[in-house]
Chain A
Amino acid sequence: MADHQTAVHQESSAQEVGDFLRRRREQIAQRWADEALFRTVFTVSRDEAVEAGRAVVEALAAVAVAGRVEDLGAAGFATVRDQLGRMAASRARTGATSARIADEVAALRPAASELLSADLADSPRELAEECAVTLTALLGTLRLVVLETALSAGQELIDRQRLQLLEVATPVIKLWTGVVAVPLIGTLDSARSQVVMESLLDAVVSQQARFAILDITGVPTVDSLVAQHLMKTVAAARLMGAECIVSGIRPAIAQTIVHLGIDLGTVVTRASLADALAYALHRQGIAVVDQDRSGPSAR
């Protein structure tokens, strides 16, 4: 019985808060426009901030009327999720931390609760208190929605950047007629090495390269999987008539490869990219000579 009564109370207070929000939408939106969250996002015109505030208040009212004050997935939030996400993202871009954004959302509460208590001054104290609690819960949920939206936007950004990295990190450079090079950087996982192999083989065809240099100066760890990827790439290039040279093998990497037991005996390796280029030129019968030792072009 008692439980039932509380439920009814909560429902009626949520209804009350919903009505209040709709009634006072304009005033709340006006006040929110001056709060840090709206003010810093909508710098161009205040009207825009008010307009955004109205939409958020309207959404909160819909959530309250539906009686889903603490439900993150309430239908009402769906309409403002985009907008809140944009606002949070724009705050994050200016360097605000998640905690700061959460604080700024929390700062919206006083403006609304002051109006609420003024509205309910003549109502029974019990109802006023319950409505205050409901409003607090509702704005707490809003805070969570904003943070959740901001975080998922961050995840999308990370996914997009990962894809970009996959493409950006594997440029094929023409070093000389018939000599191409790929500077490998970072972790060489299966997806990356697939991209590397494809772009290298494409370049071998398009540049009619006889020598392809894989430079691993920027690869921090060469384990057996990375070595296997390298060897597969070398073998594929060889099938297409290009000789592959792996360069940029640092002392620590060399010792690790030996201990690991990887046999790179079939692969031409060089310590630096310069050595690899010198090797490729030499094999093509090209000699680099100092024109004049005393001249400015001397090495």
Chain B
Amino acid sequence: MTDTSGRVTACLPIRSDMDLAWVRQHVRQAAAQLGFGLVDQTKLVTAASELARNTLVHGGGGQVESTVLETGAARGLRLAFSDQGPGIPDIERALGDGYTSGGGLGLGLGGARRLVHEFSIDSRPGEGTAVTVICWTAGAPRPREESR
């Protein structure tokens, strides 16, 4: 997908509602430091909030690893959410709008995908789910990649 030479800046646990607030704050700070505009900051923080809540509510808790990426002039932030929960049986359906298993609006996963530049999901029933998103600072326009 992209180079993996970035340095991991933080690995935060996602175990409670308080942790969600902490994740949001961390992502906001990291994005601001990388020079993200206000709109991109807000988008990334919102995507992180959705995915972190998924990790907590559906995955039964897990963690997020944030990594700063640098390829040439572009700088980005990669967030890797992972849990050891029940996994997602039908990823295509889960990515579609309006599908929910937890009483929410069913916009979390699909919405988060629309808010970031790169999105990948790996889920095995019974083993857990890993969602990785990348947001790049505005600069060289990149083709949007959507890989599974």
A interface residues (Cβ-Cβ under 8 A, vs B)? 187, 189-190, 220-225, 227-228, 251-253, 255-256, 259-262
Q: How far is the CB of B96 from chain A (nearest CB, A)?
A: 10
Task: A96 to B49: give the CA distance in the assembly, Å.
Answer: 36
A-B contact pairs, 30 of them (CB 8 A): A189-B17, A189-B20, A220-B45, A223-B46, A223-B50, A223-B53, A223-B108, A224-B105, A225-B49, A225-B53, A228-B104, A251-B38, A251-B39, A252-B38, A252-B39, A252-B41, A252-B43, A253-B42, A255-B42, A255-B43, A256-B39, A256-B42, A256-B115, A259-B114, A260-B46, A260-B50, A260-B111, A260-B112, A260-B115, A261-B97
Contact flags (1/0) for B15-51 with A, using CB distance below 8 Å?
A: 0010011001000100000000011011101100110
Closest 8 CB pairs of A and B: A260-B111, A252-B42, A223-B49, A224-B107, A252-B39, A224-B105, A259-B114, A256-B46
Does B110 belong to the interface (CB within 8 Å)? yes
Interface of chain B: mostly helix, strand, loop or mixed: helix
Given A252-B41, A253-B42, A255-B43, check contact A224 B24 (CB 8 Å): no
Q: How far is the CB of B111 from chain A (nearest CB, A)?
A: 4
- Report B65-121 residues with CB < 8 Å from chain A CB: 97, 104-105, 107-108, 110-112, 114-115
Task: A190 to B104: give the CA distance in the assembly, Å.
Answer: 12
Q: How far is the CB of A251 from chain B (nearest CB, A)?
A: 7
Find out whether the CB atom of B46 lies under 8 angstroms from the CB atom of A221. Answer: yes
Task: A190 to B110: give the CA distance in the assembly, Å.
Answer: 22
Task: A261 to B42: give the CA distance in the assembly, Å.
Answer: 15
Task: A189 to B20: give the CA distance in the assembly, Å.
Answer: 10
Task: A227 to B108: give the CA distance in the assembly, Å.
Answer: 11
Q: How far is the CB of A154 from chain B (nearest CB, A)?
A: 15
Find out whether the CB atom of B28 lies under 8 angstroms from the CB atom of A224. Answer: no
Cβ of A223: which chain B residues have Cβ within 8 Å of it?
46, 49-50, 53, 108
Task: A228 to B57: give the CA distance in the assembly, Å.
Answer: 16
Find out whether the CB atom of A262 lies under 8 angstroms from the CB atom of B107. Answer: yes
Q: How far is the CB of B16 from chain A (nearest CB, A)?
A: 11
Cβ of B53: which chain A residues have Cβ within 8 Å of it?
223, 225
Chain A minimum-CB-distance residue to B51: A223
Task: A131 to B91: give the CA distance in the assembly, Å.
Answer: 67
- Report B101-148 residues with CB < 8 Å from chain A CB: 104-105, 107-108, 110-112, 114-115
Picked from A221, A253, A260, the residue with its CB within 8 Å of the CB of B107 is A260
Q: How far is the CB of A228 from chain B (nearest CB, A)?
A: 5
Task: A252 to B49: give the CA distance in the assembly, Å.
Answer: 15
Task: A253 to B104: give the CA distance in the assembly, Å.
Answer: 20
Find out whether the CB atom of A228 lies under 8 angstroms from the CB atom of B41. Answer: no
Cβ of A260: which chain B residues have Cβ within 8 Å of it?
46, 50, 107, 111-112, 114-115
